Amino acid sequence: MLGTMEELPKDYRNSLASAGVTPLWPMMRKALPYGAPEPVSAPGFWTYESLRPLLMQAGELTPVEKAERRVLVMSDPGRGPGAMQATASIYLGLQLLLPGETAPNHIHTPSAARIIVEGEGGYTVVDGEKLPMDEGDIILTPGGEWHEHGHEGTEPVVWLDALDLPIIFYLEGSYSREGKDQSPRNRPDASQVEYLASGLAPVREKDVVSRPYPMVRYPWVRTEAALLELAKYSDNGVAELDYVNPETGAPALPTLGFTAMYLPGGQTLAPPLRSCSSAIHVVKGRGRTTVNGETFDWGPKDTISVPVFAEVTHETSEDAFLIRVHDRPIQETLRYYEERKR
Ligand code: GTQ
């Protein structure tokens, strides 16, 4: 048993505080718990059915000019109401853009990805590239890349923002700048031009390097087809694909990674305990997921958050497609990513 603060004479504690120091030993187990972290984050679950009306109400209450980004942020239940994060590292928010609206061009230090949830005609411009937003697509806006959103359709467009904002904020590195609207190049995005086929990339002259994020849109139609083909030949019918940089194979973002999962109906899946936290977004299908004993019955467009080292069990009632956002890339960079058997 380590010494406590209370064991120390009061005048000594006051002297320590005046000197601007604090003893480690009373805080030792909190700073370095034995064997595994003790997360503040708790499992979270947000149904689209419950959030959609609130988001549409935001559309009526707050014009986009007064919001810049019209977003409802998902608050980690472990941190409580007002929390600007879903896990220690992952910020999640549902963003609404109404027909004809634009969200102005800006740049910031955190990195973002959007998973398109609903609607047609939305687009994001990243570094001059106009990226159509179709349901299930993932669009990256890496830190330091200019981006703006627009909407040429007739119905509301909604997407799920996933950002590494909690990390960058913790590092006191978070800030943004506004810029003039971009004039997009008049050509399809790189996923339709340079990286149309997996395994093929444009030839470059000697010493010419690719852009750090050469492809920032991952069209869902391709992901779904790839998952189904992979699943056909997997032992249990389950398939999971990683979203990678097509030039380097690196994770989609330096901090956050993304995978797409296919689980056939009637499947039970218990992944290993992972040191990363994650968010699971349902693209299609139905099922039930238990996270540390809490059970969530999910359907299309619902979102679950999973704290570090959580016990997760998925049971599907229908064929299901899920997108998982996780912070394994930053943990691998810091060399502490870990998996433990159930
Ligand atoms: O769309 O650029 O949810 O800058 C939070 C910050 C979305 C965005 C968010 C942002 C954006």
In a domain, 15, yes or no: no
CA angle (326, 331, 334) in 5-degree steps: 160
Instruction: Give the per-residue pLDDT at 259.
Output: 98
Token readout for 128 is: 């001059």
What pLDDT score was predicted for residue 98? 98
pLDDT of residue 179: 95
Other CB atoms within 10 A of residue 257 CB:
24
In this structure, which residue's CA is closest to atom 9 in ligand 1? 161
Beta pairing partners, 204: none
Q: 225 C-alpha vs ligand 1 centroid, how far in Å? A: 29
Encode pLDDT of 24-81 as tens digits.
Answer: 999 999 999 999 999 999 999 999 999 999 999 999 999 999 999 999 999 999 999 9
pLDDT at 95: 98
> Ligand 1 centroid to 149 CA: how many Å?
10
If 0-12 CB within 10 Å is exposed, 13-18 middle and 19+ buried, where does residue 142 land? buried
What are 98's two structure tokens? Answer: 């109404």
Mean pLDDT, to the nearest integer, of 104-124?
A: 97
Number of compact structural domains in the chain: 1
CA distance 282 to 266: 16
pLDDT tens for 208-231 read: 999 999 999 999 999 999 999 999
255 within domain boundaries: yes
Residue 17, domain member (yes or no): no
Cα 80 from Cα 44, distance rounded (Å) = 11
Atom 1, ligand 1: residue with shortest CA distance: 69
Read off the pLDDT band of 88 (50, 70, 90). Answer: very high
116-165 residue pLDDT tens: 999 999 999 999 999 999 999 999 999 999 999 999 999 999 999 999 99
Asked if residue 189 belongs to a domain, the reply is yes
* 18 located within any domain: no
Contact by Cβ (8 Å): 261, 324: yes
Is there a domain that residue 19 lies in? no
pLDDT at 275: 98
Range of the domain at 135: 38-340
Q: Structure pTM?
A: 0.97
What is the CATH classification number for the domain harbouring 43?
A: 2.60.120.10
Question: Is 100 within a domain?
Answer: yes
pLDDT of 326: 98
CA of 139 to the centre of ligand 1 (A): 12
Range 274-296 burial, b when 16+ CB lie within 10 A, else e: bbbbbbbbbbbbbbebbbeeeeb
Cβ atoms of residues 252 and 216 within 8 Å = no
Contacts of 318 (CB under 8 A, 6+ apart): 265, 285, 286, 287
* Ligand 1 centroid to residue 54 C-alpha, Å: 18
Output the pLDDT for position 278.
Answer: 98
In three-state secondary structure terms, 6 is coil
pLDDT at position 264? 98
161 found inside a domain: yes
Q: Which residues line ligand 1 (CB under 6 A)?
A: 69, 71, 93, 95, 103, 108, 112, 147, 161, 163
Is 136 within 8 Å of 194 (Cβ atoms)?
A: no
